Structure 1
């Protein structure tokens, strides 16, 4: 008989987690102002808030940490990271930063000015925040298929080349660069095809504009290209990665995802001039150019993580666990963005809670109900995250209202996924009893979802 699939690792250390009572959770979430970010970690049983910095590092990474060089300037750890970026991604120049949003802050300080337009595919929250903070505009050119959670499309994260071409024809003089997010987190962790990447590159060439990749989950994207795109079946992940990035002029990276480190990021670029310009802001915001907010030990772990994270066996194990949860939810009839993405399951709150007014934040309501049900923490990818329009200050209501369940790498077993699926089924089965959502009592002027205060709608 055919052998069943198994993980490509074995477990060396465990951390106990505690089940709480519903009565405890009701008080805790109330004290947290109904913001799941405000919960303490020991108040959470299964934590799917994010896969950023929450993965379990390998033995090779822990060994590399012990060899970290903490010299302020010119540390060997910097050059280990530089070599990994050059060999795996193909960029000659890079700057370390403490995480991905710091990389965006440095790069956009050079490239983005007031009145600019940045077209791309569903800019994530920090990307949009850094654009709008500079009084520029993020323009979403994602394919329409991404908004239909029931539709199968192998690359729902794609930029629509017709939308992009039309926008560039009208506004190219105000466009400093085109951004491609791989994978497309906001659309449900959905991949971008190599064909689409080449199309974006061609349009950028036509208008003489650089292409920047938001690359937090680039390895997962390469996995989907290998599995779903004709002509890439026999290529290695590293070969696909090099081809992907050959179409980019620069990239930002939150290394806390596909490089499987607890902290770290970087900007990489082909232009020495851009590197010099960014260096000024990197020194101001992050640190000297050979450490940029990172310790030597973390740079060492990151270099190893880039290598390991672009191996097929690591990605297959990781993505099959996401698929496993998706299959369970499909069996229970719980609607989610289909097919399942690379790092998370995105439950379709519009279809679970259509009776909740959109003004009462369906995805946030679903996230709170899941926490109350079983102590499972996810995160809203909907109207709260979409924030207010910076000019009208009206709430923006995206087409998709999603509850993201981001699965940390090598942390939970499929038994935990069974608990998540069963808890969601219980919430789904009593969905008609959920009559009220939430309203805002306090919010920050930008990127409000991290710190927002809510109360139950009357």
Structure 2
């Protein structure tokens, strides 16, 4: 029997008209942007799959919450609503709002990391690793090997390899590890989840070694959905219940609320330890704002509190993950090499396999993202050598095993027809892969170079 079709659990109330461009106009635009899709003007983009951060469509309830903003400098009622919602849905007792996730990463890193420390995590994320390094720490990858294999069918590629973790303790000692940083739905691995079984084992390991367990919870609801669908014993649990269980196994969390919670701006640092909370309150005043707003307007805190409740609804999450799976199935049917299983927020194209003629030293993922824009007006982003940066000691490029282009799907923004156009455009670029040229830097920032770096074509 043919699989039944499904539709999004919402209806459209307002539309934003898009500008249509010619191929010649796009060739000029990408050249002016230095072949960096981050430097394109949004008005020149047709389907914007650069990121899912702060670009989702808020609900009517969230927009109504905007009108209830209490913009008091101190003690806004929206802060207390947000704080209580975070404890109810995520279990954490104390909340410090920040302007977005990297604000929370900065504060946490400064409090916990000392020079010479090591911070293990299930694959790096760009801003997280940078803040750890700026605080004097060294990131250590402890994710399972399957996470570095784009075609491995492992259902929980975000899992921790305890052999790697134990080897680190034997090498540097537990006192040199201030915390273990665990991400739910690991971005750089292709949006891959961690299992609750693995997380429980990690919690026990951290307790045994008296090491904090910190949760990068940007996409925790997506991870919870994968647990519901894939992990034995959770099929009858709601996404909301699983989210709460995930968070309750960790000691603290950083959150970029611009993803799961579907707001345009905002984040927070949350924890259960009061002493850690007091230190965070001292630093948030220096870098963000008072501890009851921390870089967020009252209206944005209200929209965030409402967004948290909507993010854990089962129907919403089934549609969210379903749209990514639909795009993945369209691409796979045409033989496009992608990361499998499909991730929670994006489909990741395997640039090495699509552009075998371009060596990794010429940034094939960056070149593929630029070529996709020229072909279709679709803006994607690189997740490979450019994002990995350089070894701070040797100056050489880090050469990750995964050289990917991320097709990131904003929440509640695009239709299935947009996914069809995206798939057809990727296929067209792949057919003409031999025409895509490698790139080299003409301007390279010292930090987070993928945001502002500029390139020129090689040959």
TM-score exceeds 0.5: yes
Offset at residue 432 of structure 1 (A): 2.6
**Equivalent residue for 1:430?**
432
* Residue 373 (structure 2) aligned to one of 371, 374, 385: 371
Shift of 1:169: 2.9
Give the SS at the match of 1:355.
Answer: coil
Correspondence for 1:148: 149
Runs of 4+ in 1 over 6 A off after TM superposition: none
Map of 1:16 onto structure 2: 17
Q: Secondary structure at the match of 1:95?
A: strand
Deviations 1:230-249 (A, max 9, x none): 00000111111111111100
Contact 2:350 2:404 in 1 (8 A): yes
Shift of 1:408: 0.2
- Deviations 1:244-294 (CA, angstroms, capped at 9, x unpaired): 111100000000000000000000000000001111110000000000000
Deviation for aligned residue 1:28: 0.6
Question: Could you tell me whether the CA contact under 8 Å between 1:168 and 1:207 is conserved in 2?
Answer: no
Q: Which runs of 5+ in 1 are unaligned?
A: none
Does residue 159 of structure 1 match 2:131?
no
Does the aligned pair in 2 maintain the 1:444–1:451 contact within 8 Å? yes
Separation (CA, whole Å) in 1 of partners of 2:239 and 2:166: 30
Query: Using the alignment, how far apart are the partners of 2:325 and 2:247 within structure 1?
Result: 26
Count of residues in Structure 1 that have an aligned counterpart in Structure 2: 457
SS in 2 for 1:139: strand
Contact persistence 1:165–1:203 (CA under 8 A): no
Task: State whether structure 2 residue 276 is matched by structure 1 residue 240.
Answer: no
Residue 91 of structure 1: aligned partner: 92
Alignment correspondent of 1:44: 45
SS at structure 1 position matched to 2:268: strand
Task: Report the alpha carbon displacement of residue 155 of structure 1 after superposing the two structures with TM.
Answer: 0.7
Answer yes or no: is 1:29 the counterpart of 2:53. no
Matches of 2:94 and 2:324, distance apart in 1: 34
**Is 1:206 aligned to 2:208, yes or no?**
yes
> Distance in 2 between the 1:229 and 1:368 partners?
38
Structure 1 counterpart of 2:383: 381
How far apart are 1:178 and its partner, in Å? 0.2
| 3-state secondary structure, aligned to 2:413 | coil
Q: Is the 8 A contact 2:35 2:367 kept in 1?
A: no
Residue range with higher mean Cα deviation, 163-172 or 312-321: 163-172
Contact 1:88/1:241, CA 8 A, preserved across alignment: yes
1:282 corresponds in structure 2 to 284
Quote the residue 1:225 is aligned against: 227
CA distance in 2, matches of 1:316, 1:249: 28
Contact 1:438 1:455 in 2 (8 A): yes
Output aligned runs, 1:25-424, within 5 Å. 25-171=26-172, 172-424=174-426
Separation in 2 of the partners of 1:190 and 1:93?
28
| CA drift at 1:168 | 2.2
Distance 1:442 1:4 in 2: 47
Mapped partners of 1:116, 1:21: distance in 2: 52
- Calculate the aligned-residue CA RMSD, in Å: 1.1
Tell me by how many angstroms 1:151 deviates. 1.9
CA distance in 2, matches of 1:280, 1:271: 15
C-alpha displacement at 1:170, in angstroms? Answer: 2.4
Unaligned runs of 5+ in 2: none
Q: Tell me, what secondary structure is at the counterpart of 1:118?
A: strand
The answer on whether the counterparts of 1:161 and 1:196 sit within 8 Å (CA) in structure 2 is no
Describe the superposition over 1:144-180 as per-residue Cα deviations: whole angstroms up to 9, x where unpaired: 1112212211111111122112212322221100010
CA distance in 1, matches of 2:94, 2:165: 28
Kindly indicate whether the alpha-carbon contact (under 8 Å) linking 1:189 and 1:341 is maintained by their aligned counterparts in 2: yes
SS, match of residue 298 in structure 1 = helix
CA distance in 2, matches of 1:445, 1:136: 18
